Amino acid sequence: MLKGKVAVITGGTRGIGLEIARKYLQNNATVIVFGSRQESADQAYALLCEEFPNASIGAMAPNLSDYNSMKEALTEIRATYGSLDIMVNNAGISASDNIYEYDPENFENIMDLNVNAVFYGSRVAAAIMKEQGGGVILNTSSIVSLYGQPSGCGYPASKFAVNGLTQSLARELGKDNIRVNAIAPGVTETDMMKAVPQEVIKPILSKISMARIGKPEEVANAFLFLASDMASYITGVVLPVDGATII
């Protein structure tokens, strides 16, 4: 589905991002994962090379919250691989602080990585894609972007912003043959969720119509579809992948 495509995945070293990388490699894309540290990027690179020994894989650790760092990294990728066809802005952080104890610096950090970095990645990728005749930008949102959450307001606020960027850029970049969509995962079985006690998980399950937590590969399937030509007339969408969570 992605043969001949070059894809960059931020936050691609673990969790949903790593599953997206696997899914893209299974479908014959060239994949470059971005990690928060070069060490974690190298570890993911080694893992993916072991799983896909014949694939074209790269790993880098630019500062996602710095425009010049992102510009340098993506420009290098375009020069090395010949194109940048799919930009997945997946990296993000969250917090659950209540408003009375919310450290303003923590709020700024969330906005910096969850919003500014998405803008920087999209800004650089869009310029490259316009020059080459088109491409796909995919952003990781969250189901809480649609409904909010009872604490940790910075995270849903940042994902509301991601939705706004997605829908606005889709309308702006359509004329340049650049599609922009977002995926909004619900509760997903990542390493962080595996550490949550069962007594906490049980009431969560009661709010999910499908009565189970989602799997990272199920979220990655949505990223595959929206990156592929099967979604050639889909843009400006925020797609929930949440088992019909009841709010």
| Contacts with 190 (C-beta within 8 Å, 6 or more apart), sequence order | 14, 15, 16, 216
Helix axis angle, 154-173 relative to 117-132, nearest 10°? Answer: 20
Question: How far lies 105's CA from each of 108, 112, 141, 145, in Å?
Answer: 5, 10, 22, 21
Q: What is the largest CA-CA distance in the chain?
A: 52
Q: Is 155 part of the annotated catalytic residue set?
A: yes
Structure-block tokens of residue 182 = 């977002």
Tally Cβ neighbours within 10 Å of residue 46: 12
Catalytic, out of 24, 45, 120, 155: 155
Would you say 31 and 24 are in contact if contact means Cβ atoms under 8 Å apart? yes
CA dist 116 → 75, 88, 159, 227 (Å): 19, 14, 11, 22
Annotated catalytic sites, by residue?
155
